[in-house]
Amino acid sequence: ETGVTQSPTHLIKTRGQQVTLRCSSQSGHNTVSWYQQALGQGPQFIFQYYREEENGRGNFPPRFSGLQFPNYSSELNVNALELDDSALYLCATRPGTEAREQYFGPGTRLTVT
């Protein structure tokens, strides 16, 4: 096991609602990245946080936002949910932005109806 945990494991929301997903970092890992993985596709980079600051963002709209806390745990918030937001959301942590290997959590499966 990687030591990275995510909650909840599954979630069902209605279009237009807001959702918060959580990620607990592996000890000593100050960098966390969030990914969206739709069915049949690879993970798509949403954004990365390093020491509580966002330091990289993929092609996702502003309604996708995040936070990183002093203990390096992290949240992904999605506002105004759309049907296409249904996906597996993965967080991955590493001990620094230049570290080669990242460790994934088990993911949160979000269904938007």
Partner 1 sequence: RKEVEQDPGPFNVPEGATVAFNCTYSNSASQSFFWYRQDCRKEPKLLMSVYSSGNEDGRFTAQLNRASQYISLLIRDSKLSDSATYLCVVNIKGKSTFGDGTTLTVKP
Binding site for partner 1 (CB under 8 A): 2, 31, 33, 35, 40-45, 48, 55-56, 58, 88, 90, 92, 97-98, 100-102, 104-107
Alpha-carbon span 1 to 38, nearest angstrom: 23
**Shortest distance in whole angstroms from residue 73 CB to partner 1:** 17
Alpha-carbon dihedral 51, 53, 58, 59, rounded to 10 degrees: 160
Alpha-carbon dihedral 22, 28, 33, 37, rounded to 10 degrees: -70
Residue 15 vs 57, nearer CB to partner 1: 57
Residue 20 vs 106, nearer CB to partner 1: 106
Residue 80 vs 99, nearer CB to partner 1: 99
